Structure 1
Amino acid sequence: MKKILPLVFMAMLSVSVSYGQRQLTVATYNLRNDNATNDDSVRGNGWKQRLPIITQLIRFHDWDIFGTQEGLVHQLNGLKQAMPQYNYTGIGRDDGKTEGEFSAIFYKKDKFKLLKHGDFWMAPVTDKPNKGWDAALPRICSWGYFQEIKTGFKFYYFNLHMDHIGVVARRESAKLVLKKVKEMGGNSPTILSGDFNVDQTSDSYAVINNSGVLRDSYELSPIKYATNGTFNDFDANDKTTGRIDHIFVTKDFKVKRYGILTDTYRAKAKGSDKYEAKEPSDHFPVMIMVDHK
């Protein structure tokens, strides 16, 4: 009996370690672009003020891999410098290099190997910067094919930012992304994240969620922490029910937890010694915890 007990303990430990290795923390976060034409800095919401808070939020929640939207190249490099454990893939939507907003994917360098990556514009012409259908702006989707180093598990990750004006563009973009997922990944495990600029009641959302390929992680999760919608407009008192930032997954992932992280921080109000609640971005990040096979 004394010899059997250590063997049982080692077997249980092996199962526990294996289980832990199969768990991933995934997120999507619209960072709010940093540019000279908005009044974010005047209102105390400038990128310099927000960057340290965002990096603390990401590191505390220990995201393994996450999609970002609206980040300009200096913002992404700022995140990378502050968090050297991460790397990212993606290109600027304006020139296919460094100009314009990215839909970048950040990942832990010691956890994943990036096997392949690419980008396409959400438009009838997918391989060069352009606006599609009735879109107001060029819109890009970046993707990576990753391998988890410890387990060998391989999966695709697509990340996007859909147009805020074009109804047709959003619907056609949803169809295009599904087509790309099927063409590139086939039956491979896949995650799709992004700012879709529509909530869970829209037809373009339904194109993806009812596709039989990808499902909204919110619907799949048995544990939900979602006391607000995902767009806050830098208003700590705003209340919404619409989720416009989504993470969709294939059946290869078992969603364990879903959360809209409504974190705030305190900063001095302009022209006052009093403090007020501030948001790190005008969107709340969405985070999920999943197990994979």
Structure 2
Amino acid sequence: MTRNRFKTYLIAACALLGAFLLSLNAQAQHEQMTVATFNIRYDNPGDAPNHWDHRKEVVVNLIQFHGFDIFGIQEGLHHQVQYLDEHLPTFDYVGVGRDNGQEKGEYSAIFYNKEKFNVLESNTFWLSTDTTQPNKGWDAALPRICTWAKLEDKASGQQFYFFNTHFDHVGTEARQESGKLILSKIKEADKAGIPVMLTGDFNVDQENPAYLLLENSSELKDCYEAADLRYANNGTFNSFDNTKSTDRRIDHVFVSEFLNVKKYGILTDTYHNLYPSDHFPVMAVIEWNY
């Protein structure tokens, strides 16, 4: 073999190896997903100096900077949901307002990167004995909902379910029964062997029976407990007050037992010494365990 021909073969081999390594890297990227929950605080005129108009750009920037792939929001009114939809061009969402099943009232919407995922099915149910229409369940003070979607990763074909909810802030029975109701829905997906993710503002901390019902189930685990790397130096509710701190986590990310949790973080980002919301967003990096 001549030197020139050997050189040609060597260059071609290096090119093939490089393409192979790039392919492996791309595959590795698709095997991980950044999941988050974010109570964005409803647009309350009495929140000065924390009005939505002051915070909304920060909320969008936070989501983009931390690289969320899919996330559930709570308390978003229709115009807030529309603002996120318009300013997150690679995202789409599913969800409805809790007051009429259309655009009225707070959403528990699911935003997903439409370049990475397809939605195969989606719906919203009410946290009540009547799950099909707007109503208050048990001792709840307000109508409460759970929005869910069955999605497919475009690159790998992996399917998964994503549930997002907001439990009642008053009703003790309502929170317990809401957990049971969502678990019953998740068990249906679990029987099919499809991974599940559950995000939300549960209005209960890590010691509450309603939380323990989910954490101790055979279907779910708390990403806080399961993460290989944890960055959580505060609780998740801040009341827009940066002079106080807490260890109480009331916003949670749960995933199926057989998923790996690489990282977990409570994101205490600020702007001009203010918070983007009265809740800190919670994120987790999930790895498929094939």
Shorter-chain TM-score bucket reads over 0.9
Q: What is the RMSD computed on CA atoms of the aligned residues?
A: 1.6
1 CA distance for matches of 2:18 and 2:257? 32
Q: Is the contact made by 2:190 and 2:219 (CA closer than 8 Å) also made in structure 1?
A: no
Within the candidate set 243, 264, 269, 1:263 is matched to: 269
How many Å apart are 1:9 and its aligned residue?
5.4
Within the candidate set 118, 121, 131, 2:123 is matched to: 118
2 CA distance for matches of 1:17 and 1:146? 20
Structure 1 gaps, min length 5: 267-276
Which entry has the higher C-alpha Rg, 1 or 2?
Answer: 2
Within the candidate set 63, 72, 76, 1:67 is matched to: 72
Letter of the 2:29 partner, please give it: G
How many Å apart are 1:252 and its aligned residue?
3.8
Q: Is the contact made by 1:88 and 1:104 (CA closer than 8 Å) also made in structure 2?
A: yes
How many Å apart are 1:12 and its aligned residue?
4.1
* Other-structure match for 1:21: 30
Compute the TM-score of the two structures, normalised by the length of structure 2. 0.92
Aligned residue pairs total 279
Compute the TM-score of the two structures, normalised by the length of structure 1. 0.91
* Other-structure match for 2:3: none
Q: Is the contact made by 1:156 and 1:185 (CA closer than 8 Å) also made in structure 2?
A: no
2 CA distance for matches of 1:113 and 1:100? 26
Letter of the 2:34 partner, please give it: T
Structure 2 gaps, min length 5: 1-5
Are 1:251 and 2:257 matched, yes or no? yes
Q: Is the contact made by 2:189 and 2:196 (CA closer than 8 Å) also made in structure 1?
A: no
Are 1:99 and 2:99 matched, yes or no? no
2 CA distance for matches of 1:9 and 1:89? 39
SS of aligned partner of 1:265 = coil
Within the candidate set 85, 89, 114, 2:90 is matched to: 85
1 CA distance for matches of 2:259 and 2:104? 34
* Other-structure match for 1:137: 142
1 CA distance for matches of 2:281 and 2:100? 27
Within the candidate set 272, 284, 289, 1:288 is matched to: 284
How many Å apart are 1:253 and its aligned residue?
2.0
1 CA distance for matches of 2:243 and 2:205? 20
Within the candidate set 192, 197, 207, 1:201 is matched to: 207
Q: Deviations over 1:160-183 (max 9, x none)?
A: 000001111101100000001112
How many Å apart are 1:245 and its aligned residue?
0.2
Q: Deviations over 1:187-227 (max 9, x none)?
A: 31000000000011010011111111000001110111100
Letter of the 2:268 partner, please give it: T
2 CA distance for matches of 1:237 and 1:181? 39
Q: Deviations over 1:101-134 (max 9, x none)?
A: 0100001111110110001001111001111111
